[in-house]
Copies of this chain bind each other. A is one copy, B any other.
Amino acid sequence: MDTAVQHPTDTPPGDPLAGLTPAARRALDASHSVWLGPLKLDCGIELARHRVAYRTYGTLNADRSNAALICHALTMDQFVADTNPVTGKEGWWLSLVGPGRPLDISKYFVICANVLGGCMGSTGPLDINPATGGRYNLSFPMVTIRDMVNAQAQLLDHLGIESLFCVVGGSMGGMQVLQWAASYPDRVFAALPIATAARHSAQNIAFHEVGRQAIMADPGWHGGDYGAHGTVPARGLAVARMTAHITYLSESALQRKFGRNLQDRAAVGYSFDADFQVESYLHYQGKSFVERFDANAYLYITRAMDYFDLAAEYGGTLATAFRGSKTRFCVMSFTSDWLFPTHENREVVKALNAVAANVSFVEVETDKGHDAFLLDEPEMFRTLDGFLRGAANARGLK
């Protein structure tokens, strides 16, 4: 690893992991992890050390040219293509990563790291604050999408990977892809931002704020200090998740899947029980989310998305972020995605075109809404496969 920038990888003193929840601990134990740093954050605070928990699939080739970085979305994790140790479910992007898939791991070295601020093993509000010896909770510094990307860049330095073959991600993952392409243009051969935007819209900030208010309104939250109180803001976090989950689907998908179907009953019960299937489904989504995700991490990561405004980092002109870029871009949106609608993705394409960047744009016709990028969408995978094959040829990857 002679090309690697050497970062200190020694573990900080004390037990920095003492605050992890059992779920976070399981995720960490099932991952590679490394202590990196220092990392200067956008908020001005410097983390002397931060831990990155990550998974890899496949083998890095001799000239280190076949690495594909996957950036995960808000509530996802590093378990892209193997069983999630917390939920027991299979990897969340098996349709993209695996044998015969667009990112075939016999050809590519696939990396995915839990984001900074997360709760699946990387440093976040569950970590011990070295200044106090207790959990960070809300004393954890605010992180941005750029901070997450800088943390990942330190991981790649550590792994000795100077240049990525590609960076891929949907939703908040797509924000990271855009940030990667802007911050490290020479390290990104191909960038695939999917169902995303170069800034978080007013409506999306609004939905996030509702979710945060629901968490903070839960008396079990205790100003973020629930660990010390032996509580969990379960109902607030469930409400936040239920609200968000509606935005991940489309009206027509909800109508098709559930319509006004009743749950285990022949007629409405004239009560506030979950008469309708869509209510039971949301309850399940809320409950299962609480079992796997940390409430404070949800606050921090939603805030990072709210703060994302790539143009603002470049004097207010998005095109400036990509000026001179040699990266090949594949931008993709979904017709029924109302959280990151096509027009937001198109703003990225316009900015890329304005600086004559190499860009393909595909709007996939689907009624599955924002979450389509996680689902089996043949047109999406044909497009990604074709784009990646072309880029691999250009890079000389066999």
Across the interface, do B43 and A270 meet the contact criterion of CB distance under 8 Å?
yes
A274 closest partner in B (C-beta): B209
Across the interface, do B271 and A142 meet the contact criterion of CB distance under 8 Å?
yes
Chain B residues with Cβ below 8 Å from A283 are 213
Across the interface, do A307 and B268 meet the contact criterion of CB distance under 8 Å?
yes
How many whole Å from A138's CB to the nearest CB in chain B?
8
**B-contacting 9-mer, from A6-14, A77-85, A86-94, A255-263:** A255-263
The 8 Å CB contact of A276, one of B205, B235, B276, is: B205
A311 closest partner in B (C-beta): B260
State whether A282 and B214 are in contact (beta carbons under 8 Å apart), knowing that A251-B201, A271-B142, A276-B306 are contacts in the complex. no
Across the interface, do A202 and B239 meet the contact criterion of CB distance under 8 Å?
no
Interface range for A: 35 or more
The 8 Å CB contact of A214, one of B239, B246, B268, is: B239
Chain B residues with Cβ below 8 Å from A200 are 260
C-alpha gap A219/B251 in the complex (Å): 32
State whether A239 and B210 are in contact (beta carbons under 8 Å apart), knowing that A142-B271, A271-B142 are contacts in the complex. yes
The 8 Å CB contact of A209, one of B257, B279, B309, is: B279
Q: Does A299 contact B (CB under 8 A)?
A: yes
Q: Does A207 contact B (CB under 8 A)?
A: yes
Q: Does A212 contact B (CB under 8 A)?
A: yes
Q: Mark A293-326, 1 if CB is under 8 A from B, else 0.
A: 0000001000100110100000000000000000
Across the interface, do A258 and B202 meet the contact criterion of CB distance under 8 Å?
yes
State whether A210 and B258 are in contact (beta carbons under 8 Å apart), knowing that A303-B272, A341-B251 are contacts in the complex. no
C-alpha gap A341/B74 in the complex (Å): 29
How many whole Å from A24's CB to the nearest CB in chain B?
21
Tell me if A's interface is mostly helix, strand, loop or mixed. helix
Chain B residues with Cβ below 8 Å from A217 are 214, 217-218, 235-236, 238-239
Q: Does A393 contact B (CB under 8 A)?
A: no
How many whole Å from A117's CB to the nearest CB in chain B?
12
Across the interface, do B338 and A246 meet the contact criterion of CB distance under 8 Å?
no
- Would you list 8 pairs from A and B whose C-beta atoms are within 8 A, ordered by A residue? A43-B270, A142-B271, A202-B259, A206-B282, A210-B282, A213-B235, A213-B242, A268-B307
Interface residues of A (CB under 8 A from B): 42-44, 138, 141-142, 199-203, 205-207, 209-210, 212-214, 216-219, 235-236, 238-239, 242-243, 246, 249, 251, 254-255, 257-260, 268, 270-272, 274-276, 278-279, 282-283, 286, 299, 303, 306-307, 309, 338, 341
Q: A138-B272, A213-B238 are in contact. List 19 more A-B contacts (CB 8 A).
A: A141-B270, A142-B270, A142-B271, A202-B254, A202-B255, A202-B258, A202-B259, A202-B276, A203-B249, A203-B254, A205-B260, A206-B242, A206-B254, A207-B243, A209-B242, A213-B239, A213-B286, A214-B217, A217-B218
